[in-house]
Amino acid sequence: MGRSLKITFDYQIFSSQVQGGISRYFLELARHLSRVEQVEILAPAFVTTNLQQSYRDLLSPSFAAYDRLSSLVAGTGLKAREASWRRRVNQRVSRWYLGRAEPDVFHETFFEADPLPLKSARRVLTVQDMIDELILLPDGRTSQAFVDVKRAAIERADHVLVSSKQSQIDLLKLIPIAETKTTVVHLGCRALGEWPAPAGLADDLPPYMLFVGSRDTYKNFDGLLRAFAMSPRLLKSLTLVAFGGGPFTAGERGLAAQLGIPEARMVQRDGDDRGLADLYRRARLCVYPSFYEGFGLIPLEAMTLGCPVVTTHGGSLAEVVVNAGEVVDPAFVESICAGLERVAFDEARRTELTTAGIAHAATFTWQRCADETLAVYRSLA
């Protein structure tokens, strides 16, 4: 037998993200790759408490380093949850570690301004989207410094994985690198139904439609409010539940009041994956009206639990959802409203989308994502 392929992920996303899509992506990759013979996962990164709780039953023995460093940090009594502190510790540990280890593949988990030096490892990077470069984040949150750091990370990588064909098109249009340096690997979608019993977040709710995640401007939450207010039937029959994203802002509440949406018809909830699964299962529909997404994991998550989806053709969403969701135009409130009414009140359409969604989401497995990613690693090593 030949020698093992040694793979390591850097510390970045685990330092900055308590829980989220990117950290889940890397943990799912590692979870599946660690089961492959002659593949060794070297993992010096610190995993935050929430991630440990979510993945403790999934981590393989290859991930003992996570728990060792976590225990060391907990023993210091310092504020281990603070992202800046975690980052400093992780960077120092990683520099020491890489000076002694000899991985074949080094997969950067985000865009590093001060890249770690490598001996002979090939550097891989994943780009989920090009939202910042397309100036879709308003109010100064798109930093030119961040865009420059991201571009440098893309240019120095030996290979770039992109989560959708649309993201690949956008990347190649904006940054002059060879297409052969990029590979499209769709993300996987782990059915939230695999998590333990639901937490009961929906127990006290009237019939509702569900919006999940951040409500940044490009997510088009304002457009959803306008579409909701446009339909007397929707206002009479459904409540809009927003999961995550923090409490409604004064601006959001003000717009809802201006549009005539009763305060009782808007509810915000937070919770873990068990609670989210509960909300998906009981929702009349999940609405994801974004102007642009590099992939769009939320519609697929909803589909795994039989929740019909109303989404848009923004970015990669039509590529990911295909015919398993009700696709509307995010630029036209009338289109969003019509899609919501169709799915909310047409039982035949709801049944069609539920059946198609379950089958479609089942094709987006983390095993496939890991297999395709491993093929890229092996082509470089």
329 & 375 share domain? no
Q: What is the pTM of this model?
A: 0.83
Closest C-alpha among 220, 212, 217, 280 to residue 228: 220
Cβ-based neighbours of 3, under 8 Å, separated by 6 or more: 38
374 & 335 share domain? no
CA 8 to CA 67: how far, in whole Å? 16
> For residue 4, what is the DSSP state?
P
Q: Identify the band that residue 120 occupies on the pLDDT scale cut at 50, 70 and 90.
A: confident
Other C-beta atoms lying within 10 Å of the C-beta of residue 197? 8
292 & 339 share domain? yes
> For residue 105, what is the DSSP state?
E
The arrangement of strands across the sheet holding 39-42 comes to: 39-42, 5-9, 105-108, 122-127, 159-162, 182-184
227 & 355 share domain? yes
User: Would you say the C-alpha torsion 75, 81, 82, 83 has a positive or negative sign?
Assistant: positive
262 & 354 share domain? yes
Q: What is the pLDDT of residue 10?
A: 80
pLDDT in tens, 4-48: 898 888 877 666 655 567 777 888 888 888 888 888 877 654 555
> For residue 248, what is the DSSP state?
P
167 & 207 share domain? no
CA 100 to CA 103: how far, in whole Å? 10
The pLDDT > 70 percentage for the chain reads 77
- Give, in order, the Cα–Cα distances in Å from 295 to each of 89, 141, 219, 223, 346: 32, 21, 13, 20, 28
Q: What is the pLDDT of residue 204?
A: 85
Question: Contact at 8 Å (CB) between 88 and 106?
Answer: no
pLDDT in tens, 286-339: 999 999 999 988 999 999 999 999 999 999 999 999 999 999 999 999 999 999
204 & 350 share domain? yes
What is the domain extent for residue 248?
Answer: 192-361
Total structural domains within the chain: 2
pLDDT in tens, 239-282: 999 999 999 999 999 999 999 999 999 999 998 888 888 899 99
Other C-beta atoms lying within 10 Å of the C-beta of residue 4? 13
The angle, 0 to 180 degrees and rounded to 10, between the axes of the packed helices 83-100 and 64-76 is 130
Q: Identify the band that residue 222 occupies on the pLDDT scale cut at 50, 70 and 90.
A: very high
Q: Are strands 208-212 and 182-184 parallel, antiparallel or unpaired?
A: unpaired
197 & 158 share domain? no
230 & 176 share domain? no
Specify the CATH number for the domain of residue 352: 3.40.50.2000
Task: State the average pLDDT for the chain.
Answer: 84
Q: How far, in whole angstroms, is CA 57 from its chain's centroid?
A: 21
Measured in residues, the chain has a length of 381
SS3 346: coil
Q: What is the pLDDT of residue 201?
A: 67
pLDDT in tens, 127-136: 999 988 886 5
Cβ-based neighbours of 67, under 8 Å, separated by 6 or more: 52, 59
Q: Which residue has the tokens 């989308």?
A: 353
pLDDT in tens, 192-211: 666 555 556 677 899 999 99
45 & 121 share domain? yes
77 & 92 share domain? yes
CA 127 to CA 133: how far, in whole Å? 12
40 & 171 share domain? yes
- Give, in order, the Cα–Cα distances in Å from 290 to each of 215, 234, 294: 9, 20, 11
Helices (H), the chain: 12-16, 21-33, 49-55, 64-76, 83-100, 144-156, 165-174, 221-230, 232-237, 250-259, 273-282, 297-304, 317-321, 333-345, 347-361, 366-380
pLDDT in tens, 166-201: 999 999 999 999 999 999 999 998 776 665 555 566
CA 311 to CA 220: how far, in whole Å? 11
Q: Identify the band that residue 77 occupies on the pLDDT scale cut at 50, 70 and 90.
A: very low
> For residue 284, what is the DSSP state?
S
Mean pLDDT, residues 163-167 taken together: 95
